[in-house]
Structure 1
Amino acid sequence: MSDFIAEADGKLLHSHGLDRFDALWALPLEAVDEPNTGRGGWSRVFRLDLDGQGFYLKRQANYLTRTLRRPLGEPTFAREFRNIDHYRKLAIPALQAVYYGQRQVDGELRAMLMTRALDGWTDLDGLLAQWAILTAAQHRAIVRACGELARTLHDAGQVHGCFYPKHIFLRASGDRYLAQLIDLEKTRPLLFGQRDRVRDLEPLLRRAGAWGAGDVRGFLAAYLNVPGDSAQVDAWVARLGRRRSHKETR
C-alpha cells in the first residue's frame, strides 16, 4: 500500500516537512494515552498541532490483526484506514484521515494513521453527563442527530459494531446538531437486515441512561423517518427491549 495524504492537507504537511513517513515517525510529540501492548507489538496516540489545526497521529509497531484474508497479519491501522476511506466514499459522517503509511524497518512492521482532531465536537457521553442542564430543545436536536446518523449508516449498508455514546461526536449548528462517528475498527457490511440493525442500536440505548422513554422514541422516529407516535416506533421499542432483556439475563 502506498502512502495516503489527503489532498486538502498535503500542502500543510509539506510546508512543515511532514509529508514523509520517516519525518512523521521521528517527530517528538506528547502522547495522549498509555501505550497499548500485545499482539506482539505496541500502539500509541499523539496530539499534533500545525498552524492552528489539530490532528491525532497514531503510531504502532508489530501491532497486527490476523484475518482469513491476511493470515500473516497486518497493522490494525491499515484496516481502520480502509474503513475510514470506505465511510468517506459512502458519505457516512465520520472522522477524516489525513495520512496513512506503513514501513518494514529493522524487523518491525511500522504503521501510522493521522486524522483530523474533532476540536469543537463533544462525544455523546459528555452530553449525556450534562443532560439535566440542557434544554428540551437541545435534547430533541441531539436525539434527532443521533437517529439520523444511525439511519445514514444503516441505509449505506454498514454496521458500526461499537455504536456507543463515546463513539458519536456532536456539534451544535444553529438550532440543530451535526453528528459523526469515530472508532471504525469493527465496522462491517449489514448482512442480516433487521437483526443487524437491532444489534447495532441496542448498545447505544442501553448506555444512554440519561435518555427517557420520550428520547428513545425520538431517536427511533428520526432513525425510521416516521412520526414519534407511529406503530413502527412501537414495534422497534419492543424489539430493542427484548434484545436488552436477553443481553441482561445472559
Structure 2
Amino acid sequence: MSDFFASAEQSLLERHGLADFDQLWQVQLDAVDEPNTERGGWSSVYRLELEGRGFYLKRQSGYLTRTLHHPLGEPTFSREFRNISRYQKLGIPALQAVYYGQRKVNGEMRAILMTRALDGWTDLHELLQRWGDFDPAQRQAIVAACGELARTLHDAGQVHGCFYPKHIFLRARGEAFQAQLIDLEKTRPRLFGQRDRVKDLEPLFRRADAWGETEVRQFLAVYLRAPQDSPLLQAWVGRLHKRRQHKGAH
C-alpha cells in the first residue's frame, strides 16, 4: 500500500518537515492518553498543532488485527483508514484522514494514521451530561441530527458497530446541528437488513441515559421518515425494547 496524503494538507506537512513516514514517526509529541498494549504490540495517540490547525497523530507497532482476509494480521489503523475512505466515498459524515502509511521495521509492522481534529465539535456523551441546559428546540435539533446521521449510515449499506454517544460528534449550525462519526475500526457492510440496523442503534439508546421516550420517538421519526404515531415507528420501538431486554438478560 502506498502512502496516502490528503491534498489539502500535504503542503502544510512539507513546510513543517513532516511529509514522510519517518518524519511523522520520529516527531516528539505528548500522548493524549495511556498507550494500548494489547495484541502483542502498542498503539498511541498524539495531538499535533500546525499553523493553528489541530490534528491527531496515531502510531502503532506490532498492533495487529486478524481477519479472514488477513489471517497473519494487519495494523488496526489500516482497517480504520480503509473505513474512513469508504465513508468518504459513500457520503457518510465522519472524521477525515490526512495521512496513512505503514512500514515493516525489524520484523514488526508499524503504521501511522493522521486525522483532522474535530475542533469546534462536541461528542453526544458530553452534550447528554448537560441535557437539562438545552431548550426543547435545541434538544430536538440534536436528536434529529443523530437520527439523520444513522439514516445516512444505514442507507449507505453500513453499520458502525460502536454507535455510542462518545463516537457521535455534533456542532450547531444556526438552529440546526450537524453530526458525524469517529472510531470506524469495527464498521462493516450491513448484511442482515433490519436485524443489523436494530443491533447498531440499540446501544445508543441504552447509553443515552438523558433520553426518554420522547427523544427515542423523535430520533426514529427522522430515521424512518415516519410520523411518531405510525405503526412502523411503534414496531421499531418494540424491536429496540426487545433487543435491550435480550442484552440485559446476558
Q: TM-score, normalised by structure 1?
A: 0.99
> What amino acid sits opposite 1:10 in the alignment?
Q
Sequence identity, in percent?
71
* Alignment partners' CA distance in 1, 2:104 and 2:17: 21
Q: CA deviation at 1:108?
A: 2.2
Question: CA shift at 1:227, angstroms?
Answer: 2.0
Q: Which amino acid aligns with 1:80?
A: E
* Cα deviation, residue 248, structure 1: 0.7
Q: In the alignment, which residue of structure 2 is the partner of 1:247? A: 247
CA distance in structure 2 between the partners assigned to 1:34 and 1:221 by the alignment: 40
- Mapped to 2, the partners of 1:193 and 1:21 lie a distance apart of 40
**Deviation, structure 1 residue 107:** 2.5
Q: Equivalents in 2 of 1:188, 1:45: separation in Å?
A: 23
What pairs with 1:1-250 in structure 2 (closer than 5 Å)?
A: 1-250=1-250
1:175-221 Cα offsets, whole Å, 9 max, x none, are 00000000001101101111000000000011111011111000000
TM superposition score normalised by structure 2: 0.99
Q: Provide the aligned C-alpha RMSD in A.
A: 0.7
- Unaligned runs of 5+ residues in structure 2 are none
1:106, CA displacement in angstroms? 2.4
Q: Residue 7 of structure 2: SS of its match in structure 1?
A: coil
Question: How far apart are 1:40 and its partner, in Å?
Answer: 1.2
What is the rounded CA distance, in whole Å, between the counterparts of 1:222 and 1:32 in structure 2?
36
Runs (5+) with no aligned partner, structure 1: none
Aligned equivalents of 2:235, 2:200: Cα separation in 1:
16
Provide the C-alpha distance between the structure 2 equivalents of 1:75 and 1:176, rounded to a whole number of angstroms. Answer: 38
Secondary structure of the residue that 2:177 maps to in structure 1?
strand
Query: C-alpha separation between the residues in 2 aligned to 1:65 and 1:238?
Result: 36
Query: Aligned AA for 1:77?
Result: F
Shift of 1:14: 1.1
